[in-house]
């Protein structure tokens, strides 16, 4: 199996190593919560890391506050532990801190059962400080060491989607033009290819959203960003038109204009009966195919 360890794996391991070393050098207590903070804040982008770190810190503070209050009433109490979890989850849901629930619960229970044997107030403060230290270490490593290159990744995905479109045209539209026959299970195969493109588009949109958040901080070249957005819009439109013609692509006739567009784009075709007896489905098909080919030309330039 050809498997390559990703940079995020190395950076996460380094963050864990640094957390432990820092605590050992400073002779601080168990670095458990610092390590958790560092691991959980190691996201793809700096902005994502910051948001996750913020969520963990809010969860830690909430868990510490509720835990401290309940511990002063009655530590290790089963009923209060259950009630505390209800309060924590409810508060997180009200303020839409959904990603803070887990860490808040962990900190709350650790304080209720006084893991570490310290006084409740000191223990609560330590948990907040530990988490903050771990998050800061994770953010620093993510920012300083091989930050994720969104632009290269997005360009690769855009290029991959463009290739998928060309393969669809070559494999199904051109095949019929050349041979006057459709491949077996043509529509099913096209729908499978369109499904793959749909998945790629969804992934690309998610990554573009993260990238747009990142460049607000980095003040990146706005023209490059606008070019990417325009290209994505063209790909989205092309996908939409492919989706329309997918159920009717088999046994359709190509008109003269689209035949010439196919030739000009470098697709291997040869002339057969163009513009002969085009029915209503053929006309719908050619309308959408014309837009697809125009978009392919834009993407290739």
Q: What percent of the chain has pLDDT over 70?
A: 87
Binning pLDDT at 50, 70 and 90, where does residue 176 land?
low
Instruction: Report the pLDDT value the prediction gives residue 223, as an integer from 0 to 100.
Output: 73
Q: Write out pLDDT tens, residues 26-68.
A: 988 889 889 988 998 888 777 788 888 888 889 999 999 999 8
Mean pLDDT is lowest, of 155-169, 211-225, 241-255, for 211-225
Answer whether residue 236 shows pLDDT above 60. yes
| Threshold 0.85, pTM exceeds | no
Q: CA-CA distance, 45 to 210, in Å (whole number)?
A: 7
Q: What percent of the chain has pLDDT over 90?
A: 27
Binning pLDDT at 50, 70 and 90, where does residue 181 land?
low
Q: Write out pLDDT tens, residues 61-119.
A: 999 999 989 988 888 899 999 999 999 999 999 998 888 998 899 889 988 887 655 57
To the nearest 10 degrees (0 to 180), the angle between helices 256-264 and 280-300 is 20
Instruction: Report the pLDDT value the prediction gives residue 25, as an integer from 0 to 100.
Output: 94
Mean pLDDT of the chain: 83
Q: Which residues have C-beta within 8 Å of that of residue 201, sequence separation ≥ 6?
A: 161, 235, 236, 239
Instruction: Report the pLDDT value the prediction gives residue 184, as an integer from 0 to 100.
Output: 57
Answer whether residue 132 shows pLDDT above 80. yes
DSSP string, 146-179: S---HHHHHHHHHHHHHHHHHHHIIIIIHHHHHH
Q: What Å distances lie between residue 216 and 55, 210, 243, CA to CA?
A: 20, 10, 34
Structure tokens at 168: 């669809």
Q: First-to-last CA distance in the chain?
A: 38
Instruction: Report the pLDDT value the prediction gives residue 80, as an integer from 0 to 100.
Output: 93
- Most distant CA pair in the chain, distance: 89
Q: What Å distances lie between residue 251 and 169, 173, 247, 254, 278, CA to CA?
A: 14, 9, 11, 10, 11
């Amino acid at each position: 199996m050809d498997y390559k360890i990703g940079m995020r794996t190395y950076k996460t391991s380094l963050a864990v190593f640094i957390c432990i070393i820092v605590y050992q050098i400073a002779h601080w207590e168990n670095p458990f919560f610092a390590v958790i903070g560092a691991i959980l804040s190691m996201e793809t982008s700096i902005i994502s890391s910051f948001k996750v770190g913020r969520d963990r810190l809010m969860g830690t503070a909430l868990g510490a506050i509720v835990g401290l209050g309940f511990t002063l009433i009655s530590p290790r109490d089963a009923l209060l532990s259950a009630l505390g979890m209800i309060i924590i989850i409810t508060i997180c849901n009200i303020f839409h801190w959904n990603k803070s629930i887990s860490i808040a619960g962990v900190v709350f229970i650790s304080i209720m059962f006084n893991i570490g044997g310290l006084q409740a107030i000191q223990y609560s403060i330590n948990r907040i400080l530990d988490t903050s230290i771990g998050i800061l270490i994770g953010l620093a490593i993510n920012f300083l060491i091989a930050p994720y290159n969104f632009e290269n990744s997005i360009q690769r995905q855009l290029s991959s989607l463009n290739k998928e479109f060309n393969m669809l045209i070559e494999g199904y539209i051109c095949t019929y033009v050349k041979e006057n026959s459709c491949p077996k299970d043509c529509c099913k195969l096209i729908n499978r290819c369109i499904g793959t493109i749909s998945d790629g588009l969804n992934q690309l949109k998610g990554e573009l959203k993260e990238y747009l958040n990142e460049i607000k901080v980095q003040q990146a070249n706005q023209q490059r960003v606008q070019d990417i957005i325009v290209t994505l819009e063209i790909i989205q439109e092309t996908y939409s038109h492919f989706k329309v013609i997918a159920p009717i692509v088999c046994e359709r006739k190509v008109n003269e204009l689209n035949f010439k567009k196919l030739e000009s784009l470098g697709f291997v075709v040869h002339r057969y009966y163009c513009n002969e007896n085009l029915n209503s489905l053929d006309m719908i098909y050619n309308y959408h195919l014309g837009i697809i080919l125009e978009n392919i030309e834009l993407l290739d330039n």
